[in-house]
Amino acid sequence: MPSGTEKAKEKFMQGVEKTRAPAEGSGVFGLSTALWLARSGYRRVTVFDMQDTASAGYDPGAGIESASADINKIIRFSYGSKIEYQRLASQAAEIWDEWNRDIAGLAEDELPEVLRRGQRQLWYKCGFLRMGAGSEFSDFELQTLRNMEKEGIRDTQFKSDDDAGEFLVSEVLLAFVAAHIERAERNGWAHKLDVCRRRERFGVHKAVLDSSAGFVVAYKACAWAQHLARKAGVEFILDREKGKVVGIDMTDHHKPVVRTADGVAREGDLIVVAGGGWTAGLLPEAEGLIETTAGSVATIQLPKDRPDLWDRFSPENFPVVTWGMSEGTGNDKDIYSFPRDENGIIKIGFRKTKWTNYSDVAGKSISVPKAAEKNIPMPAIEGIKEYISVNFPELAGLGLSSTWLCWYTDSIDNSFVVDFVPGRPRVAVCSGGSGHGFKFLPILGREVVKILEGKGDQTVYGQMWKWRASTAEKRNGLEEGEEGPRALEKQQMASREDWVF
Ligand SMILES: Cc1cc2nc3c(=O)[nH]c(=O)nc-3n(C[C@H](O)[C@H](O)[C@H](O)COP(=O)(O)OP(=O)(O)OC[C@H]3O[C@@H](n4cnc5c(N)ncnc54)[C@H](O)[C@@H]3O)c2cc1C
């Protein structure tokens, strides 16, 4: 006799047996959903994508444009007061560790193509140095440390100096802080505490090094997750016509239908729209809840004949660095960078302003990704050049080697959106990554499946990610709309000449 939960699952299973189109989008949100559906016993899970992510191995250099198709992404556990995300990130990290081990142990022909070349490691625990741009620690930083103490993982954090003044929040914390540098030295992290020599050069360096964090090689991670999903039985239709969803309708007998660009309509029992920045274009009713914005990204190519730079910026010697991240102290710089990758590329991102691109979609004005935009606005180029000039002057002479826009899907409160779409039975949305979704690739689908099974109200993530609205004056920038100052068409775009310092 099945339990209530089993009954619900059984009912859902019967539907999915007939389904031909449950998930759309082979980015992190679609991949994780499909993988966990298949691993939870669901059959005939099909992923549609208009881009051939498999052949291109999610390589942005091969023309794949999505938030997930990238060189690298940060894995962090520092979430200020949002302890639920901190916990989920810690659980994800256990699977990232497992994936690293699994990949290392496999024969070459058991790996997806991109993992056969070069380094096999997905996740690098190289540390994450959160540098303040001023002389104070932000509230976010202090709250993060309190939460880490609560979770018993406070000893993974190293403060850049022994000045305990700003950490006088508890006796326990004071004791920790006093021993920070000594502890960093003992644990082999001291060389990453001040990689920009800020104390020596500016006399002040306010930073916390999180030794549990680092980055993942994004394109290889997606290719691996897709490989696992295929092995679990998921079918992928990745094609600019056969895989491109152009409409989601409903039959007379209330079954959702996916229409693709090749003119085929496929009836299903459940459709999950995980279209990243394209989601609001497909589900215009999500327009007040999520907004597509562009992040500005640039790279510096280290020359082959500079082994000193290759060594200095390697993950062994260099952490992920952020500078003046959302401090709220008037010193916001909102810049991040990675250690060099295996090809000698250093990626730098500008987060201070995320640009919008409003366009007419089914009579509504909706921000959508702008295809093939490689140039970034001038304020972003200037911010990135300032970051390099101030913190890594030895790189300035190299100039930038590429720029591009990478498309976020921001929600009104930076929390994800995973729920059934009001007024569209059996159509769900799985999106709103808001610039921090990648790290959850191994685990997100576990929570999505619970929500799709109708158990969202009983889970903390189901509650956090439900379809919602806000009348607040400030809604993460969504209140600005097409008239806002972040509109791409209002920006002066940088050109190659601006890549020189
Ligand atoms: C600049 C930037 C930096 C980030 N940094 C980090 C970080 O450091 N750490 C972190 O954890 N997260 C980070 N994120 C967030 C993370 O990358 C995203 O949350 C995540 O990748 C979103 O995945 P997705 O599947 O929702 O969207 P996407 O990766 O954009 O995938 C959407 C997919 O849907 C497909 N699609 C769209 N429309 C259709 C259609 N009509 N038919 C068929 N297919 C369609 C697209 O082709 C695409 O493959 C960052 C995001 C950005 C933009």
Distance 444 CA to ligand 1 centre (A): 13
List the end-to-end C-alpha distance of the chain, in Å, as a whole number: 70
DSSP string, 399-427: ---EEEEEEEEEETTS--EEEEPTTSTTE
> From atom 41 of ligand 1, which residue's Cα is the shortest distance away?
245
> From atom 24 of ligand 1, which residue's Cα is the shortest distance away?
276
Q: According to the model, what pLDDT value does residue 252 have?
A: 86
Q: According to the model, what pLDDT value does residue 19 have?
A: 47
> From atom 12 of ligand 1, which residue's Cα is the shortest distance away?
436
Distance 311 CA to ligand 1 centre (A): 31
Q: According to the model, what pLDDT value does residue 447 have?
A: 98
Tell me whether strands 320-323 and 335-337 are parallel, antiparallel or unpaired. antiparallel
Distance 66 CA to ligand 1 centre (A): 5
From residue 281, give the alpha-carbon distance in Å to each of 33, 278, 408: 20, 5, 14
Distance 187 CA to ligand 1 centre (A): 36
Residues 6+ positions from 416 with CB-CB distance below 8 Å = 29, 430, 431, 432, 433, 434, 437, 444, 461, 464, 465
- How far is Cα 494 from Cα 317, in angstroms, rounded to an integer? 32
Q: According to the model, what pLDDT value does residue 328 have?
A: 61
φ and ψ of 171, to 5 deg: -60, -40
Q: According to the model, what pLDDT value does residue 269 have?
A: 86
Q: According to the model, what pLDDT value does residue 127 have?
A: 97
Enumerate the β-bridge partners of residue 124: 215
Q: According to the model, what pLDDT value does residue 14 have?
A: 39
Q: According to the model, what pLDDT value does residue 175 have?
A: 56
Detail the DSSP E strand segments found in 82-210.
Answer: 123-124, 128-131, 157-159, 207-210
Q: Which residues line ligand 1 (CB under 6 A)?
A: 24-30, 48-51, 53, 66-68, 73-74, 243-245, 274-278, 282, 295, 297, 349, 406-409, 431, 433, 435-439
**What is the mean pLDDT, run by run of 10 residues, along the chain of 501 residues?**
36 41 81 96 93 95 95 94 94 98 97 95 97 82 81 84 50 57 85 93 91 97 98 97 95 90 92 97 96 98 98 98 78 93 98 96 95 95 97 97 97 97 95 98 98 96 97 93 96 96 93
> From atom 39 of ligand 1, which residue's Cα is the shortest distance away?
275
CB neighbours of residue 486 within 10 Å: 18
What value, to the nearest 5°, has the Cα angle with vertex 135 and ends 134 and 138? 75
Give me the domains of the chain, ranges plus CATH numbers: 4-72+218-289+412-469 (3.50.50.60), 123-215+291-409 (3.30.9.10)
Distance 408 CA to ligand 1 centre (A): 7
Residues 6+ positions from 350 with CB-CB distance below 8 Å = 295, 296, 297, 298, 334, 335, 376, 379, 380, 383, 384
- How far is Cα 20 from Cα 104, in angstroms, rounded to an integer? 34
Closest CA to 500 of 330, 372, 384, 340: 384
